[in-house]
Amino acid sequence: MMYKRTIWMSILALGLVSRANADDQPMWKAGLAKAVITPKVPMWLAGYGGRDRPSEGTLHDIWIKALSLEDAKGHRVVLLTSDLCGMPKWMYDSICASLKKSDGLERDQIRITNSHNHCAPAVRGDLEDYYPLDDVQRKRVYDYSDWLEREIIRTIRASLGNMRAATVSSGEGVCTFAVNRRNNKEADIPEMLKRGETPKGPVDHSVPILVVRDTKDELLAIVFGYACHNTVLSFYQWCGDYAGFAQIALEKKYPGAMAMFVDGCGGDQNPLPRRTVEMAEKYGNQLAAGVTKVVDQKMQSLAPKLRTAFEFVDLPFEKNPTRLELNVHLKDGSPVRVRWAKRMLKQLDDGVPFAKSHPYAVQAWDFDGQLWIALGGEVLVDYAHRYRKEYGAKTWVTSYSADLTAYIPSERNWREGGYEVGYLHEYMLPADRWTRDVEDRISASVSRVVAKLKP
Ligand SMILES: [Zn+2]
């Protein structure tokens, strides 16, 4: 009897111990929030210089989505993804300052990314010389921008305020519709694909995936990336382009989960062929299928260990424009050039010197060994391949993070020249090109930031 009781008590004690272990097991905490940001009035759409009128309705809503994560030691990050074309530097700085004041978050803990969607509203100070805005449209764009900033801060803070225990896991899928637009003529692509040929030039068809589940293993969030412009559509309706359709498809397949798209190094990648809603939906479904394939399998579980680092690196401009050059542009330039030249000349008249460089945002997160680099601007695909070579095949490189900056060519691209190399003025910057060492400078910064992640 005594013996039996001892065994029974031992079993009970063991049970208690194992349950205590389960309870004590360190876990992530995750918080989520999202908001619709579809404008309620006709407004100018972002991303193309050729549009001649404001929006004409909504295909589907566009969103901002926030995911806050906290590791076992209480270190927090927040990821905000959006269906916006890009974020101006003033808004990125202002959001970071606000979150530092309200929640003590530093820039290494805040990651704001945009899908570079060209069916999103124009925002003040972002590619603004692209758009022939009249006074009514300008006021709408500026009012919307101020509202958007407040809404982003509100959404991030809502995610920080509803943290619960969670697990995090990672995986990687494949999706193949992105085509290198520097190495192929868009008009040739349909025939090439029909002949079964692979378009030329480097691409990044990987789909990085981060999944967050609650303690009952229910999906809370699916973060997924792809390196390709959201430029299937160039019409006049609000929608999220292929990334919007991919998020809709995933949220339909996994009810209750929040799907969040992050853009990769797709500065030179286009979804081709393109220009119909059917194609945008088809590519979205293809991408969602690539994600589903991974999410439905066993994924790599990540322990609640998070390290973060950030720096601004100065990227010098090759040269500022002279008054003489600006006056020539004023006479002979495209409408975008003329608006830019007027802006630059006014700055000279006001006695405000041109900046010689741009502070470029470089950030890295390490989730229990999963390295995730995030870069500002429209980074071209060479960078993703370079950093996977340098930091391991599992490395993720997200672009279109922080402010939209401009295109970020590799040295190879810079030597080749072309659209993504010589058009910094389109981003309202006082120059046409970065200096030739732009890749060296960014890569040295990435190496410093990644080194800071080592325990
Ligand atoms: Zn672009």
- Alpha carbons within 13 angstroms on the beta-carbon side of residue 19 total 6
Residue 116: per-residue pLDDT? 98
Tokens 């589907």 -> residue? 60
- Is 339 within a domain? no
Contact 13, 43 (CB under 8 A): no
Contact 70, 163 (CB under 8 A): yes
- Is 381 within a domain? yes
Rounded to the nearest angstrom, the distance between the alpha carbon of 116 and the centre of ligand 1 is 7
Rounded to the nearest angstrom, the distance between the alpha carbon of 256 and the centre of ligand 1 is 32
Name residues whose C-beta falls within 8 Å of residue 409's C-beta, 6 or more positions apart in sequence: 267, 380, 420, 421, 434, 438, 439
- Is 19 within a domain? no
Rounded to the nearest angstrom, the distance between the alpha carbon of 25 and the centre of ligand 1 is 44
Axis-axis angle for helices 89-103, 135-160 (nearest 10): 30
Residue 18: per-residue pLDDT? 33
Closest CA to 267 of 439, 110, 89: 439
SS3 category, 42: coil
- Is 344 within a domain? no
Rounded to the nearest angstrom, the distance between the alpha carbon of 231 and the centre of ligand 1 is 8
Rounded to the nearest angstrom, the distance between the alpha carbon of 257 and the centre of ligand 1 is 29
Rounded to the nearest angstrom, the distance between the alpha carbon of 164 and the centre of ligand 1 is 37
Count up the domains in the chain and report the number.
Answer: 1
- Is 10 within a domain? no
Alpha helix (H) ranges present in 175-322? 189-194, 241-253, 277-295
Rounded to the nearest angstrom, the distance between the alpha carbon of 400 and the centre of ligand 1 is 9
Rounded to the nearest angstrom, the distance between the alpha carbon of 184 and the centre of ligand 1 is 17
Tokens linked to 132? 């022939």
Rounded to the nearest angstrom, the distance between the alpha carbon of 22 and the centre of ligand 1 is 47
Tell me the C-alpha distance between 243 and 238, whole Å: 13
Phi, psi of 112 (to 5 degrees): -110, 120
- Is 100 within a domain? yes
Closest CA to 438 of 392, 374, 365, 382: 382
Q: Kindly report the pTM of this predicted structure.
A: 0.94
Contact 92, 133 (CB under 8 A): no
Would you write out the chain's pLDDT as a tens digit for each of its 455 residues? 444 444 444 444 443 333 334 556 899 999 999 999 999 999 999 999 999 999 999 999 999 999 999 999 999 999 999 999 999 999 999 999 999 999 999 999 999 999 999 999 999 999 999 999 999 999 999 999 999 999 999 999 999 999 999 999 999 999 999 999 999 999 999 999 999 999 999 999 999 999 999 999 999 999 999 999 999 999 999 999 999 999 999 999 999 999 999 999 999 999 999 999 999 999 999 999 999 999 999 999 999 999 999 999 999 999 999 999 999 999 988 999 999 999 999 999 999 999 999 999 999 999 999 999 999 999 999 999 999 999 999 999 999 999 999 999 999 999 999 999 999 999 999 999 999 999 999 999 999 999 999 98
Q: Which residues pair with 203 in a beta bridge?
A: none
Tell me the C-alpha distance between 113 and 375, whole Å: 9
Rounded to the nearest angstrom, the distance between the alpha carbon of 423 and the centre of ligand 1 is 11
Residue 55's domain comprises: 28-320+356-451
Which protein residues have their CB within 5 A of the ion that is ligand 1? 378
Rounded to the nearest angstrom, the distance between the alpha carbon of 378 and the centre of ligand 1 is 6
Rounded to the nearest angstrom, the distance between the alpha carbon of 60 and the centre of ligand 1 is 22
Tell me the C-alpha distance between 374 and 200, whole Å: 26
Rounded to the nearest angstrom, the distance between the alpha carbon of 47 and the centre of ligand 1 is 7
SS3 category, 277: helix
SS3 category, 415: helix
Tokens linked to 352? 């405000």
In the chain, count H helices and then E strands. Answer: 11, 17
Closest CA to 79 of 256, 408, 308, 388: 308
Q: Which residues pair with 348 in a beta bridge?
A: none
Rounded to the nearest angstrom, the distance between the alpha carbon of 363 and the centre of ligand 1 is 20
Rounded to the nearest angstrom, the distance between the alpha carbon of 402 and the centre of ligand 1 is 15
Residue 237: per-residue pLDDT? 98
Residue 354: per-residue pLDDT? 98
Rounded to the nearest angstrom, the distance between the alpha carbon of 229 and the centre of ligand 1 is 6
b (16+ CB within 10 A) / e for 2-29? eeeeeeeeeeeeeeeeeeeeeeeeebbb
- The alpha carbon dihedral of 299, 180, 120, 240 has a sign of negative
Peptide bond before residue 430 is cis, with ω within 30 degrees of 0: no
- Is 203 within a domain? yes
Phi, psi of 20 (to 5 degrees): -60, -40
Please return the burial class of 449, using the count of CB atoms within 10 Å of its CB with bins 0-12, 13-18 and 19+. buried
Q: How many CB atoms lie within 10 A of CB 44?
A: 24
- Is 345 within a domain? no
Rounded to the nearest angstrom, the distance between the alpha carbon of 243 and the centre of ligand 1 is 14
Q: Strand pairing of 357-367 and 63-70?
A: unpaired
Contact 220, 257 (CB under 8 A): yes
Rounded to the nearest angstrom, the distance between the alpha carbon of 98 and the centre of ligand 1 is 28
Tell me the C-alpha distance between 241 and 83, whole Å: 9
Rounded to the nearest angstrom, the distance between the alpha carbon of 247 and the centre of ligand 1 is 20
Q: How many CB atoms lie within 10 A of CB 407?
A: 23
Rounded to the nearest angstrom, the distance between the alpha carbon of 210 and the centre of ligand 1 is 25
Rounded to the nearest angstrom, the distance between the alpha carbon of 85 and the centre of ligand 1 is 8
Tell me the C-alpha distance between 250 and 443, whole Å: 34
Rounded to the nearest angstrom, the distance between the alpha carbon of 9 and the centre of ligand 1 is 67
Tokens linked to 177? 């519709």
Q: Which residues pair with 70 in a beta bridge?
A: 29, 76
SS3 category, 425: helix
Q: Which residues pair with 80 in a beta bridge?
A: 66, 112
